[in-house]
Structure 1
Amino acid sequence: MTQTTTQTTPDASMTTTPAQAVLTRHADAETCADPSSVMTLLADSDTPGSGFTSYRSTFAKGAVGAPAHFHTRATELFFVISGSLQVLVGEEVTVLEAGDFLAVPPHTPHAFAAAPGAEADVLFVFAPGLNRFDYLRLLGRVMRGEADPKEIAESAERFDNHYVDSPAWRAALKISAGSADRA
């Protein structure tokens, strides 16, 4: 698949630059699983034609997702396909519902989990991309007890994933856990 893009330069001359489309068939996509979610890896920044990273995660009820963190180089985009996703942005916690979209700019602390009592199916995109598939694979290995959690901390710069403490997120998770206990 090739797309041709025409751009006008300041001197009004025309140039044509071929761009490559990115297609990942569901049957060919790699999946990574941990006890509470399945990640379908769609395109990493080293995928030909891609300047972004994208994956889809399905979260079980009560799935914790990612702790508070930020990225220094990428905007992280969330699109909720179905279910409900609880998110932290800065110090505000809210719930995204099916069809909701969120863009979190660089340097903004954020976190996410399945909303209390809900499952979530979410499309994630990082722009610009950074080869993150190895990070997602590492997360799965840590969650399954196959890798040391220290490896995540040691990979912060490589994967542009910087963890921070968030009292607001800790409080939201505590409330969520209490809701699950009463259910």
Structure 2
Amino acid sequence: MTASSQPATSPLLTRHAEAETCADPSSTMTLLADSAGFTSYRSTFAEGAVGAPAHFHTSATELFFVISGSLRVLVGEEVTVLGVGDFLAVPPHTPHAFAAAPGREADVLFVFTPGMGRFDYLRLLGRVMRGEADPAEIAASADHYDNHYVDSPVWRAALESAT
């Protein structure tokens, strides 16, 4: 029973001290579990940090649970703020985006179900944010990681209003 890649039928334990972290200038992702049944990680966002642009998944439901702080989210065409203890489930094909709320930090638990080996995608995001990889690699991996970016004028306006 260890962290990371396990069959969905095996118990899985990830000790905090042993969890892999991916850091960039504005956030730290702690990789918790990446199995066929689900993928889970925890992200801590610096004050006002952008999490993810508008995107959708074709097969995964993405779950958000706010541990501390506030997370601004786009779901469809609506922008709202999640606070401590709030839970959100975004079904497949629903455009969504997220960022720390203006002037706030955020600590969020994310779960994708079903899982599909997303840790390599999260590692790629970290490398791109640190300037170590070409952003074109993200676009090229859209189908492989079921992460499809879309334009959202509503989200762009929300981000612009925060600056």
TM-score (norm 1): 0.84
Could you tell me which residue of structure 2 aligns to residue 10 of structure 1? none
SS at match of 2:63: strand
Task: State the 1:35 CA deviation.
Answer: 0.5
Instruction: Name the CA distance, whole Å, in 2 between partners of 1:127 and 1:158.
Output: 15
| Paired position in structure 2 for 1:41 | 31
Structure 2, unaligned runs of 5 or more: 2-8
CA separation in 2, counterparts of 1:78 and 1:176? 22
Over the residues paired in the alignment, what is the CA RMSD in angstroms?
A: 0.9
Partners of 2:14 and 2:132 in 1: CA distance: 28
Correspondence 1:53 to 2:35: no
Partner of 1:144: 130
**In the TM superposition, what whole-angstrom CA distance separates every residue of 1:24-68 from its partner, at most 9, and x where no partner exists?**
00000000001100000000025xxxx100000000002011000
> Following TM superposition, where does structure 1 have runs of at least 4 consecutive aligned residues deviating by more than 3 angstroms?
none
Amino acid of the structure 1 residue aligned with 2:58: T
Amino acid at match of 2:162: S
Q: Which residue of 2 aligns with 1:30?
A: 20
Larger radius of gyration: 1
In 1: Cα distance, 2:144 partner to 2:23 partner: 22
Aligned residues between the structures: 156
Identity, % of aligned positions: 83
User: In the alignment, which of 60, 78, 88 is matched to residue 102 of structure 1?
Assistant: 88
Q: Which runs of 5 or more structure 1 residues have no equivalent in the other structure?
A: 2-18, 178-183
